């Protein structure tokens, strides 16, 4: 008879203990240990390959072949995945409730089904009729799209073996369970075991599987970090629920870059691609207002022009506040310290609020110059030229350092009608600038301030 074992498992990090504790010693979270029962019957595990009798091979003797990716009708989606869907891959998509994860995957499923790709859409949260209502709203009419409402992984595996689909969607992993694991669906044990079984199905049958994951209050995918380590790619679907724009960002991708970003707009008939995001982010920009600058940032291989807004005001408390939205909050006091030391702007008693307009998150050092000039503009209450774009990394000694892909950044700015580009002087050589935009090279933050405000 199979033996049962009781243990307490942390629902945040996966740490397990033979007894209950109020605080997890691994992640230091309170009241996260939950009692779970598992059957210890020592089943025979099999590998993920076709042949379980694998032997070591010399890496020089292994033959490879370039397999074509499965492309959808959304170039933005293909770009984030590195050029398309890789056969046999396991992809995890996370996002806030109601952000549009199911809508995106249903649209992708319909596009693939229209190309004679057999698609199995498995919903553990909705019935087939509820899925049909969303499909009618999105205009899904393909006969190659099959819908299944099931949460038992054993029954799901049987249906996959019978149908043999070319593309599978699991919505969501927190609702799927295995009979052998006695804990509740969504627990650490269930999520880990179900994801491992889905990975085996994907690798063995050479079929791509997309799974939807819930997120916690902090914005990370619910469950242990092991879930993100097991899959081949992790995509985050971001955006404000009260705004129409959505951003699909890759944070892990074994088959492509993790710096790509896809932008969509939520409409009544579904998600539509935003082909020129720079125009969207700058369409509501105010002209001639102090504290506003524009930076050309790189999101993967695509340049995006974004507005940086700053507000500097005298503090009402003993300690000045430093707040930032869309950039690293530690970068704001660092750049303010450079302005104080190298330029002489005394802002010790000033509150600073910095924001990236449009809800975009920027994390590259090339935005330093635009942030610093934006802070100085608000402090001096003097507006920058509306047709200037600033690009450059600011060092602690006040120097403006070289950035990558300067040619693509300047070309994007020229395409949108900007007249001047203030860039690091070390980026002036080795490329040809467009005729309709003036290029100004600067070596220090003092020189950049002089060029911007004179």
pLDDT in tens, 245-301: 888 988 899 988 887 888 898 888 899 998 888 888 888 888 889 999 999 999 877
- 3-state helix, strand, coil split of the chain in percent (to 5) is 30, 30, 45
In the chain, % of residues over pLDDT 70: 92
Segments in 63-211 forming alpha helices (H)? 75-80, 101-113, 128-138, 153-163, 188-205
Could you tell me the strand order of the sheet in which 33-40 lies?
A: 16-17, 3-10, 33-40
Average pLDDT, the chain: 88
Spatial distance between the Cα atoms of 97 and 264, rounded to a whole number of angstroms: 17
CB 357, CB 281: distance < 8 Å? yes
Residue 46 has pLDDT above 50, yes or no: no
Please tell me the predicted confidence (pLDDT) of residue 188: 79
Q: Binding site, residues?
A: 95-102
- Any idea where the domains of the chain sit in the sequence? 3-40, 69-275, 280-453
Arch. (CATH architecture) of 280-453? 2-Layer Sandwich (3.30)
Over pLDDT 90: what percentage of the chain? 58
Rg (CA), the chain: 26
Number of H helices, E strands in the chain: 11, 21
Sorting pLDDT into bands at 50, 70 and 90, what band is 220? low
What is the pLDDT confidence band of residue 388, given thresholds at 50, 70 and 90?
A: very high
Going by pLDDT thresholds of 50, 70 and 90, the confidence category of residue 43 is: very low
Question: Residue range 11-33: average pLDDT?
Answer: 85
Confidence of residue 333 (pLDDT cuts 50, 70, 90): very high
Which pTM value belongs to this model?
0.77
pLDDT of residue 225: 63
- Categorise residue 45: left if φ over 0, alpha if ψ from -120 to 50, beta otherwise: beta
| Residue 235 confidence (pLDDT) | 93
Question: Tell me, what's the pLDDT at 226?
Answer: 67
- Please give the Cα distance from 381 to 267 (Å, whole number): 39
pLDDT of residue 44: 47
pLDDT at position 1? 47
What is the pLDDT at residue 2?
53
Annotated binding site for ATP: 95-102
Residue 355 has pLDDT above 70, yes or no: yes
Which has more confidence, 63 or 375? Answer: 375
Query: Given this model, what pLDDT does residue 42 score?
Result: 47
Measured between alpha carbons, how far is residue 108 from residues 134, 145, 239 in Å? 13, 11, 19
Classified by CATH at the fold level, domain 69-275 comes out as Rossmann fold (3.40.50)
| Angle of helix 331-338 versus helix 368-380 axis, rounded to 10 | 60
Tell me the per-residue pLDDT of 161-177, one tens digit each, with 9 for 90 and over: 999 999 999 998 989 99
């Amino acid at each position: 008879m199979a033996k049962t074992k009781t243990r307490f498992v942390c629902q945040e990090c996966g740490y397990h203990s033979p007894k209950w504790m109020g605080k997890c010693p691994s992640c230091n979270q309170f009241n996260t240990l939950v009692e779970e029962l598992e059957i210890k019957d020592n089943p025979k595990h099999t590998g993920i390959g076709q042949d379980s009798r694998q032997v070591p091979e010399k890496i020089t003797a292994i033959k490879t072949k370039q397999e074509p990716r499965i492309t959808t009708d959304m170039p933005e989606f293909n770009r984030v995945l590195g050029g398309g869907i890789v056969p046999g891959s396991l992809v995890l998509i996370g996002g806030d409730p109601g952000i549009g994860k199911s809508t995106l995957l249903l649209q992708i499923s319909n596009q693939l089904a229209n190309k004679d790709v057999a698609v199995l859409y498995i919903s553990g949260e909705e019935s087939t009729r509820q899925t049909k209502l969303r499909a009618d709203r999105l205009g899904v009419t393909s006969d190659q799209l099959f819908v299944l409402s099931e949460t038992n992984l054993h029954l799901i595996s049987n249906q996959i073996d019978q149908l043999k689909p070319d593309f599978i969607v699991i919505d969501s992993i927190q609702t799927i369970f295995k009979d052998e694991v006695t804990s509740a669906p969504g627990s650490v044990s269930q999520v880990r075991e179900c994801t491992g079984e889905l990975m085996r199905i994907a690798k063995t049958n050479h079929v791509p599987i997309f799974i939807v994951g819930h997120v916690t209050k902090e914005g990370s995918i619910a469950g242990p970090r092991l879930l993100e380590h097991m899959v081949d790619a992790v995509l985050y679907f971001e955006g404000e629920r009260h705004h129409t724009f959505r951003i699909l960002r890759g944070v892990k991708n074994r088959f492509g870059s993790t710096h790509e970003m896809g932008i969509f707009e939520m409409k009544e008939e579904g998600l539509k691609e935003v082909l020129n995001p720079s125009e969207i982010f700058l369409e509501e920009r105010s002209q001639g207002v102090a504290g506003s600058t524009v930076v050309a940032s790189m999101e993967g291989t695509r340049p995006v022009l974004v507005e940086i807004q700053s507000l500097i005001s005298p503090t009402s408390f003993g300690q000045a506040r430093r707040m930032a939205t869309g950039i690293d909050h530690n970068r704001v006091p660092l750049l303010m310290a450079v302005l104080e030391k190298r330029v002489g702007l005394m802002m010790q008693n000033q509150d600073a609020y910095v924001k990236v307009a449009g809800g975009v998150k920027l994390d590259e050092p090339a935005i330093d110059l635009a942030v610093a000039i934006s802070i100085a503009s608000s402090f001096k209450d003097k507006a920058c030229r509306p047709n200037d774009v600033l690009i450059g990394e600011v060092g602690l000694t006040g120097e403006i350092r070289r950035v990558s892909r300067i040619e693509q950044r300047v070309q994007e700015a020229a395409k949108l009608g900007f007249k001047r580009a203030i860039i690091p002087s070390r980026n002036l050589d080795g490329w040809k600038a467009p005729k309709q935009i003036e290029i100004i090279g600067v070596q220090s933050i003092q020189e950049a301030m002089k060029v911007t405000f004179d």
